[in-house]
Amino acid sequence: MPLRPGRTYRNHSGPAFTRIEYMNVNPRTKIVKLEMGNPSGQYEYQVKLVAQEKLQIRHNALEAARMAANRYLTKKVGKENFHLQIRAYPHHIIRENPILNTTHADRWQEGMRRAFGKNIGRAARVEPGKVILVAKVRSDGILDAKEALRRAASKLPKSYSIVIEKLNGPK
């Protein structure tokens, strides 16, 4: 069965569900790396992608955003001239209760009785003002980092702002 549209999991209410000891299968996150580029470089600026609304971001959307930002920065500024981090981690486990739409389905399924649902993936719970991605660059790569995070934001639900901060000293 294909993935449901992202809008079905965008909003959330209630606490996050992370109790994996009650589940038969622990769904793995699709995020391959949380840090890319050169973490030990000398950087002057950091560009942040900040959420403006309360939302959930699925792990496959975070991976798509990571790939888009990493690809753009690698092509424009080079692999040794940036450090990209994902700050939102998908702890919340998404479940769904599939409903059969076939003939005689009432004999095989129980409807909403014992409707705990099957694990289908993970999501990151995000509050307004939380940083999703951070790109550290030198002064000549600020515009490229801003464009990379803009492209990454197009892969994520709802709206974000891009904040540029000057780092105190070389790190």
Q: Which sign, positive or negative, has the C-alpha torsion 9, 10, 14, 17?
A: positive
Torsion angle in degrees (nearest 10) through CA of 125, 127, 133, 134: -140
Cα 92–121–63 angle (5° rounding)? 90
CA 140 to chain centre: 27
38 class by beta-carbon count within 10 Å (0-12 exposed, 13-18 middle, 19+ buried):
middle
Rounded to whole angstroms, the Cα distance separating 78 from 106 reads: 58
The reported pLDDT for the residue numbered 98 is 74
The reported pLDDT for the residue numbered 171 is 47
Q: Which amino acid appears at position 135 of this protein? A: A
Instruction: Say which range, 49-58, 104-113, 118-127, has the weakest mean pLDDT.
Output: 104-113
**Average pLDDT in the 116-135 region?**
91
Residue at token pair 């002057």: 44
Position 109 pLDDT exceeds 70? no
Quick one: the chain helix, strand, coil %, rounded to 5? 25, 25, 50
By three-state DSSP, how is residue 138 classified? coil
Stated pTM of the model? 0.83
Q: Which fold has domain 6-12+25-93+116-166?
A: Aldehyde Oxidoreductase; domain 3 (3.90.1170)
Rounded to whole angstroms, the Cα distance separating 168 from 90 reads: 30
Rounded to whole angstroms, the Cα distance separating 68 from 66 reads: 6
List the beta bridge partners of residue 51. 160
Instruction: Say which range, 26-30, 124-128, 167-171, has the weakest mean pLDDT.
Output: 167-171
Rounded to whole angstroms, the Cα distance separating 44 from 48 reads: 14
Task: Report whether 69 contacts 149 (CB < 8 A).
Answer: yes
